[in-house]
Structure 1
């Protein structure tokens, strides 16, 4: 692989990482939540399958549990601890690490977003209570950087306590009965969305302080490219221009970007533009004719074709569909 990136000072890199991590958090929007409260006494074990376009959260209210899977050795959670699986990796929860479990779908069938459930397992051993949730997000928000996050992210009780808003939100959600009043499900959705962002924030600060934990942060050129794409997507970028912007040759930039981010630079740029276009069409009253220029397209026809290819529908149909659903 060719070498060609310019040297960045440590102060420059540390200044860029917060911007990069902020851009990772900004587009996260939950589309639905299935939440459940677990009342379990040992012996117990439950196997959770991998979830697509869904983050999974477990918060221990009382007692504790072991978690196995997600590409790491078994680890123990105690009361007040929180674990987040950003991309819904398969894992097992149990009272001991080597106990075989029953499938989650057997004890909580369906699990449709917007509903709640409960698990009760009566045993003679230690009692535990957990708040668990499947947080379904818009696939367009799952950037390459988000997908590159570790399979499991853990905040122990002292770390949660240092985030009072996160701690209080989790306790409130854990104590709340199944919502059934007007607007309750929307409030629950937004509360879990806030909990997700509040949980990711300290975890991402840890990653920024320890770039080795997230290889993309270790590479100054690719790290900067992600910031550029996230914040300056409306500019008329070409592959050569992006490579020059970060001080790398085209071939080295393309290879390193694909290796660290998991997709080519052009696709990552398109994803960011489509993400912003969808936001403008759903969250603003900006005229549809003004959207292409706001997301880096000089041609309305080119934008229309790109949008249809990405979402499987036209910009107008997309806006009308969201308005109809609302």
Structure 2
């Protein structure tokens, strides 16, 4: 029996599972707070330039035809029908029927771009026609992890890659169609659909980037990535920072410095955030007795949990649950 081969296979499976857990944890807090989307009907010649956006991801999905995307310091990239480009941090960029065109500012083509509304861009040229779905996806900067700011400025999924993610493909097609939900509840459905599209797009992109020089440093650091997974999946255990550092084979000082650098906050705050998210979920979405919540999220003391929860959310656990029930 080839025990060496079996061990290697098991090790590979474990690493794959850990990477999937890491990607899930990094993408989980990425909640959208507002979306402005627009449909573009453009005929060449055309060129539109968007400024950098803060706490906002931007995506463009080519429904028909094609275009070129240009960002400063990078060669132009051609997009064809079915391709998707995502700017995770809202980097400034230009879209055009060919590189080198003089651009019209996006704020001139769409002067009002309020979250929760939609717009349309029409350019009546004499050349080939293209149709695009574009969206500015505003997210909660406090909840987003350091992964967002460490991603490349532009990430592209070509049509075959999009087709390998049927849920992403179908969601984009629905959002681009005139038949998407309207009326009562239509905007929240649209918001959550774009949120799902963003996560579905980032997941295969991150999976492809992992292990390459272009991947975010967090994905390449075995100790810190393992610590993030540990805190994500074992937050109910009575961790201290010393214990987590030992768990991943690092000294406390090196671990704390590297974690802050790669994740964007201290390990103590990251662990507290993970525990508070779960506590809020248990109070808002389950009937678990309030007295049982502290132990479920890693607190030995009910008083300590109460104080930590109130400091984090600004209300007591009881008030939080009552508010969630009232909202429902």
Q: TM-score interval w.r.t. the shorter chain?
A: 0.7 to 0.9
- Structure 1 CA distance for aligned equivalents of residues 160 and 112 of structure 2: 35
Please list the CA deviations of residues 174-226 of structure 1 after superposition, one character each: whole Å capped at 9, or x if unmatched: 11257532333233233223322322222122123537522222221111111
More off after superposition, 51-60 vs 184-193: 184-193
Structure 1 residues 150 and 277 mapped into 2: Cα distance closer, same or farther (>3 Å)? Answer: farther
**Displacement of 1:49:** 3.0
| Pick aligned residue for 1:207 from 206, 209, 216 | 209
Q: Secondary structure at the match of 1:58?
A: strand
Tell whether the 8 Å contact from 2:245 to 2:252 is kept in structure 1 after alignment: yes
- Structure 1 CA distance for aligned equivalents of residues 76 and 152 of structure 2: 15
Structure 1 residues 247 and 89 mapped into 2: Cα distance closer, same or farther (>3 Å)? Answer: same
- Structure 2 CA distance for aligned equivalents of residues 98 and 306 of structure 1: 55
**Displacement of 1:71:** 6.5
RMSD, aligned CA:
2.9
Structure 2 match to 1:272? 274
Please list the CA deviations of residues 1-48 of structure 1 after superposition, one character each: whole Å capped at 9, or x if unmatched: xxxxxxxx6665344212211222334443332221111223333232
Structure 1 match to 2:237? 235
- Structure 2 CA distance for aligned equivalents of residues 72 and 310 of structure 1: 41
Tell whether the 8 Å contact from 1:56 to 1:87 is kept in structure 2 after alignment: yes
Choose between structure 1 and 2 for higher RCO, CA contacts under 8 A separated by at least 6 residues: 1
**Displacement of 1:58:** 0.8
Gap regions ≥5 residues in structure 2: 1-10
Structure 1 residues 265 and 128 mapped into 2: Cα distance closer, same or farther (>3 Å)? Answer: same
- Higher Rg: 2
More off after superposition, 221-230 vs 60-69: 60-69
Tell whether the 8 Å contact from 1:85 to 1:151 is kept in structure 2 after alignment: yes
- Structure 2 CA distance for aligned equivalents of residues 43 and 75 of structure 1: 17
Give aligned pairs, total: 318
Gap regions ≥5 residues in structure 1: 1-8
Tell whether the 8 Å contact from 1:280 to 1:286 is kept in structure 2 after alignment: yes
Please list the CA deviations of residues 144-182 of structure 1 after superposition, one character each: whole Å capped at 9, or x if unmatched: 334433232210011112222222221222112575323
- Which structure 2 residues correspond to residues 1-326 of structure 1 after superposition, within 5 A? 12-69=14-71, 72-139=74-141, 141-176=143-178, 179-208=181-210, 210=212, 213-312=215-314, 314-315=316-317, 318-319=320-321
- Structure 1 CA distance for aligned equivalents of residues 111 and 295 of structure 2: 46
- Structure 2 CA distance for aligned equivalents of residues 126 and 308 of structure 1: 58
More off after superposition, 126-135 vs 142-151: 142-151
* TM-score, with length taken from structure 2: 0.83
- Structure 2 CA distance for aligned equivalents of residues 212 and 195 of structure 1: 22
Query: 4+ runs of 1 displaced by more than 6 Å?
Result: none
Please list the CA deviations of residues 254-312 of structure 1 after superposition, one character each: whole Å capped at 9, or x if unmatched: 22222322322222222222332333344334454444333323344444444444445
Tell whether the 8 Å contact from 1:46 to 1:92 is kept in structure 2 after alignment: yes
* TM-score, with length taken from structure 1: 0.84
- Structure 2 CA distance for aligned equivalents of residues 60 and 224 of structure 1: 37
- Structure 1 CA distance for aligned equivalents of residues 150 and 14 of structure 2: 22
